Amino acid sequence: MLNKGTERTLKEAEGLLKKLHVMQKFKDKYHLTPSREAQRIVESMQTLADSVPEITNPQNQEQLIQAELKRRLHGEAAYLDQQLSGRLYDFDTVISILGIPKEDIVSLRPWLESNKEKTQEAVERLFHSKDIEGYELPLAADIPNVRRQVEEFAGAHIQRYHKTLGKFLQGLTKVGAFLRDINAVPTTQDRSYFRPLTNNLAVSIPGICFSKEDGTLHIRDKELIRLYGHEGMGHALNFVITRSNGLPYFLTQDSVLTVSTAESVAQFYENVLFEDLRKSRKTQKALGIEHKFAEIYQEAKDTEQLEEYKKRIFQYGIQVLGDKSLGEPNDPVVLRKKADMMYEVAIDKSDVQGWIQNNRVISTNSD
């Protein structure tokens, strides 16, 4: 049970976050921010955040909620204030708004150094295991009869995976029962997504389905498993469970401050699902993939390693370009030094070179 003071604070925070949400909807519609109202929200959030106790190491649920609420209010207020001010973002401002721990930044280069060879091996393995030329052709979904065929084909596989994996997860954990509240449907969008208002888990047809030169349709089983783990468990199931647990309002609402955390949770469930499936030959058989699961699993692990490497070298690049201590950002000597720092941990230097040139504006705007 929370004490009455904490409950009052949570109620006030809920009111402010709802006002912020309405203001964001207004901006989406009219492409303008009601700046006076926004400034009032900033000041109210800052005042409320300052009234919440500073708790470094929470010892119980109430203290944990207070610590997270204080961080959320300060973050939302700082982000909105930054937008209202018109100031250009620099590296330190972004770190402060998002509350990124210093150790996460410091650990980027050591991780890249220790994983460079492992990632290189994964890249080579993927190259030699796939027939890239003509391997997967795009769908001619602009043709009505092809589109209908593709939708039926993809929809049948999505339903089979949803029912089979749903039953499998219910056997592993009680939270699997919440999957009955989620509708798995195909979408022609290029990206899969979960829509909280309708509980629809929309799986991208172009993302999971392709054709071959003979016109036959095929499913990317690895991608369907990954999407189900990421969108189905990491986003959809996580949202449904969170909504049903009676948590404070601020913990149930998405924000730019929580995007990275939500994605980390989704990526975690991607990996968990592949590992759980590896242990269940029965579920592999029910999905019709037992004969090729070893190949699917290896591709998933190699792809995971590659994606993690790309994510971290991108983050490291931002860190390097935003580091003012290295010198004047536009000085060619400084820029060369920064490029060399990235080349030392890069697998493909041409990619890094192009990325640096395209993102020089980051370091230029940091002054």
Q: Residue 273's CB: how many other CB atoms inside 10 A?
A: 22
pLDDT at residue 22, as a whole number: 94
Buried b (16+ CB within 10 A) or exposed e, 34-73: eeeebeebbebbbebbeebeeeeeeeeeeeebbbbbbebb
pLDDT at residue 366, as a whole number: 45
Q: Residue 222's CB: how many other CB atoms inside 10 A?
A: 20
Under the banding of pLDDT at 50, 70 and 90, the label for residue 272 is: confident
Q: Residue 235's CB: how many other CB atoms inside 10 A?
A: 21
Residue 238 has pLDDT above 60, yes or no: yes
pLDDT at residue 10, as a whole number: 94
Span 335-347, mean pLDDT? 91
Task: In whole angstroms, give the CA distance from residue 74 to residue 11.
Answer: 17
pLDDT at residue 360, as a whole number: 61
DSSP H helical ranges for the chain: 4-30, 35-51, 61-85, 91-98, 102-106, 108-129, 144-172, 205-208, 221-227, 238-244, 259-278, 281-287, 293-321, 332-343, 349-358, 360-365
Angle at 211 between CA 209 and CA 214, to 5 degrees: 160
> For residue 253, what are the contacts with CB-CB under 8 A and spacing of at least 6?
17, 21
pLDDT at residue 170, as a whole number: 79
Span 144-151, mean pLDDT? 90
**Residue 136: CA atoms inside 13 Å, Cβ hemisphere, count?**
10
* 8 vs 234 pLDDT, higher one: 8
pLDDT at residue 363, as a whole number: 45
Mean pLDDT of the chain: 86
Under the banding of pLDDT at 50, 70 and 90, the label for residue 362 is: very low
pLDDT at residue 261, as a whole number: 67
Among the listed residues 305, 246, 366, 268, the one whose alpha carbon sits nearest the alpha carbon of residue 126: 305
Residue 97 has pLDDT above 90, yes or no: no
The backbone torsions φ and ψ at residue 337, rounded to the nearest 5 degrees and listed phi first, read -65, -40
Residue with tokens 């469970």: 241
How, if at all, do strands 183-187 and 193-195 pair?
A: unpaired
| Among the ranges given (6-10, 132-136, 189-193, 275-279), the one the predictor scored with the smallest mean pLDDT | 132-136
Token pair of 360 as six digits: 């020089």
Residue 59 has pLDDT above 90, yes or no: no
